Amino acid sequence: MSTETLNARRPQAALRASGPGSGPGAGPGGGLGGAQSRRELEKRGFEWRELDGKNGVYRLSRPGVAAPAPTPEPSPRAPKAMRAPKPPKPAEPTPPSGSMRIEERREMERAMTELRAEADRLRDEMSKISVLGREIEIAGIDFSFDRFDPGSRYGRIFARWGERAEAPRLVLNHDPRGFASMPEGSADLVLSGHTHGGHIGVQLAPGRALTAVALAGIPDQGIFRRADMRLFVTRCVGFYGYPMRLGIPPEIAILTLRSA
């Protein structure tokens, strides 16, 4: 039978004593208040039972009252399971340094460096080559940002080369705006680029378009004539520097030269 218990470490003779604190203790060394306390406990249904008469240890018990369940001692906390370390995130792909046009520019510069080692650079210079037994003059004019007096500059350059002879003269001039400033009859064919087909516009035909560059009075693409001189402006394949090209398709031009 479950009982509510209370231990006391007092001899039974002490129960005849009076006065507070002289009866069997409610705990180790604690009194129950003598005979008066004993009667009160008996009225409440407690009974005295000897546990160890030799040492004066008794138990107060009240039959029929369930004793509170002992509080289980906390078990030692199990260590947390070791979690496997998270796998490192895959490294982000390293973006190319700069935009693709910068990479293409570097590639072009590397190719030009190799080409310069094997080719003659025509910076305001002219050279003669032979094609199928016929002589052709090829001249190159360096690009200049000086727009103050382009006519005088072109005049000085062509004066060094002299007038055209029987051999056809092919002139490479990056900026097509220089075509109008060249001396009369100074070249048979001038090849230019620079405008990238007009940058922004509507392509109406392979060599004809409505572009912002043309509206500014600058040769934008295709063939232009001035007396017996011809200018060809290629649309090129992309852009260089600032990214401005809209509505103008790229091209790689192949020209076939025939004698008149």
Q: Which residues of the chain have pLDDT under 50?
A: 1-33, 95-99
Half-sphere exposure of 164 (CA within 13 A, CB side): 19
Q: Give me the residues paired with residue 222 across strands.
A: 233
pLDDT tens figures, 136-146: 999 999 988 77
Measure the CA–CA gap between 212 and 200, rounded to whole angstroms: 6
Contact 173, 192 (CB under 8 A): yes
Measure the CA–CA gap between 143 and 137, rounded to whole angstroms: 20
pLDDT at res. 106: 83
Beta strands in the chain (DSSP E): 3-8, 47-52, 57-63, 125-131, 134-141, 169-173, 189-192, 201-205, 208-211, 222-226, 229-233
pLDDT at res. 248: 87
Measure the CA–CA gap between 234 and 194, rounded to whole angstroms: 8
Concatenating the DSSP letter of every residue in 9-28 gives: -S-GGGGG--STT-S--SST
H/E stretch holding 166 reads none
pLDDT at res. 110: 84
pLDDT at res. 174: 92
pLDDT at res. 50: 59
Measure the CA–CA gap between 63 and 2, rounded to whole angstroms: 7
pLDDT at res. 218: 92
The region that residue 46 occupies, defined by phi over 0 for left and psi between -120 and 50 for alpha, beta otherwise, is beta
How far from 229 is each of 3, 184, 193, CA to CA, in Å? 127, 8, 17
User: How do strand 47-52 and strand 57-63 relate by DSSP bridges?
Assistant: antiparallel
- What residues contact residue 21 under an 8 Å CB cut-off, 6+ apart? 31, 33
Measure the CA–CA gap between 148 and 150, rounded to whole angstroms: 6
Measure the CA–CA gap between 142 and 153, rounded to whole angstroms: 11
Query: Could you give the dihedral angle defined by the CA atoms of residues 8, 13, 17 and 22, in that order, rounded to the nearest 10 degrees?
Result: -20
Q: What are phi and psi of 112, to 5 degrees?
A: -65, -35
pLDDT at res. 73: 65
pLDDT at res. 187: 95
pLDDT at res. 217: 92
The whole-angstrom distance between residue 206's C-alpha and the CA centroid of its chain comes to 40
Sorted by where each begins, the domain ranges of the chain are 3-63, 100-233
